[in-house]
Amino acid sequence: MSIAKERLIELFRAAVKASEFSYSPYSHFPVGAAILTADGSVVTGANIENRSYGLTNCAERTAAFKAVSEGKRSFKAVAIAAPKAEYPVGPCGACRQVLTEFAAADVPVIFGSSEENVVVHTLGELYPFDSLHELASDGKS
């Protein structure tokens, strides 16, 4: 999938803005995410912590669940911003799994701590052996 670098940077800026709404009183590590959906809209989310840490929700899943709850079930690009990080922090395994439910393997994922410190990979590069995508490519889905 081809998304212009400028569009990915715009999406990353939306993720940075979303990180301002993080609820992270325990880790003090705000994260924001922005998802470009098939209809061209952008849905954002932030990480929401809980003192029972297992109940914490990552920014990527917050954005994904918000998008799906609004009827947007096809993702075209994902941006993740962790402004306090020293290096680009990619999505955790749970988020990668959720994103693959609604995005193809060639969907670009941009992540980093600032516009000067980002990387771009495809979802398939981040989650290479996704059985859902393998089934779809084999015509078995």
By annotation, the residues acting in catalysis are 60
CA distance 38 to 59: 20
Pairing type for strands 75-81 and 108-114 reads: parallel
Question: What angle (nearest 5°) sits at the alpha carbon of residue 35, between those of residues 140 and 109?
Answer: 70
Whether the Cβ atoms of residue 59 and residue 28 lie closer than 8 Å to each other: no
> Element (H or E) spanning 37, and its range?
strand 32-37
